Structure 1
Amino acid sequence: MRKYRSKPVVIEAVQWFEGMEVEGVIDLAMLSEKWFGKTDMDGRYAVYSLEGMMSVRNGDYIITGLKGEKYPCKPDIFEAKYELVD
């Protein structure tokens, strides 16, 4: 099997905490079931990603992908994978 390395890509991200307004983060309590439907979310906040709805917790990073999509990332994984660009 061949081995591959990720290409270096610069992303945009912000560390999110409850009460912050960040584009893409949805407060599920503000949506009615009629509009949104039932979810299997285990939290109150979510991001609609390319993979569907994903829970967002305090301290998660909200990443903007290459095509403008949003997705959450746990702090320990984010800090292991990314470094700040000046």
Structure 2
Amino acid sequence: MIHKYRKTALIEAEQFDGTKEMKDKYQIVDKAELTSAYYQGGSRYFLPTKEGDMKIDEGDYIATGVDGEHWCIAKDIFERTYERVN
């Protein structure tokens, strides 16, 4: 039988804005800085995670889990799934 489950752990999250400070903080790879072969429309930013590099776009959220791990959540999914806790 299928059951429904709710996440119980809180996460911390920050919206990615493409600044050098955020790229440095999360060790985000910016392909536009690595090669002149970068082209418009291609994936530009990559966030290193436990599972490998994840594509991240400006406006997406970087979540930090209970063990300090990071992952990317698309803006529209984040805003439908999470609510801010003060």
Please give the range of the TM-score, normalised by the shorter of the 2 chains: 0.7 to 0.9
Query: Deviations for 1:44-83, whole angstroms, at most 9, x for unmatched residues?
Result: 2111112210011010000001211111111110011110
Amino acid at match of 1:82: Y
The answer on 1:49 being equivalent to 2:43 is: no
Q: Give the aligned length.
A: 77
Amino acid at match of 1:27: V
Q: Check the 8 A contact 1:60/1:74 in 2, yes or no.
A: yes
Looking at structure 1, the residues matched to 29 and 48 of structure 2 have their Cα atoms a distance apart, in angstroms, of: 11
Q: After superposition, where does 1:53-68 map in structure 2 within 5 Å?
A: 53-68=53-68
Looking at structure 1, the residues matched to 75 and 65 of structure 2 have their Cα atoms a distance apart, in angstroms, of: 17
Instruction: Give 1:11's aligned residue.
Output: 11
Cα gap change, 1:31 to 1:68, in 2 (>3 Å): farther
Looking at structure 2, the residues matched to 16 and 25 of structure 1 have their Cα atoms a distance apart, in angstroms, of: 12
Cα gap change, 1:2 to 1:13, in 2 (>3 Å): same
State the identity %: 38
CA shift for structure 1 position 12: 0.5
Q: Which runs of 5+ in 2 are unaligned?
A: 36-41
TM-score (structure 2 length as normaliser): 0.74
TM-score (structure 1 length as normaliser): 0.74
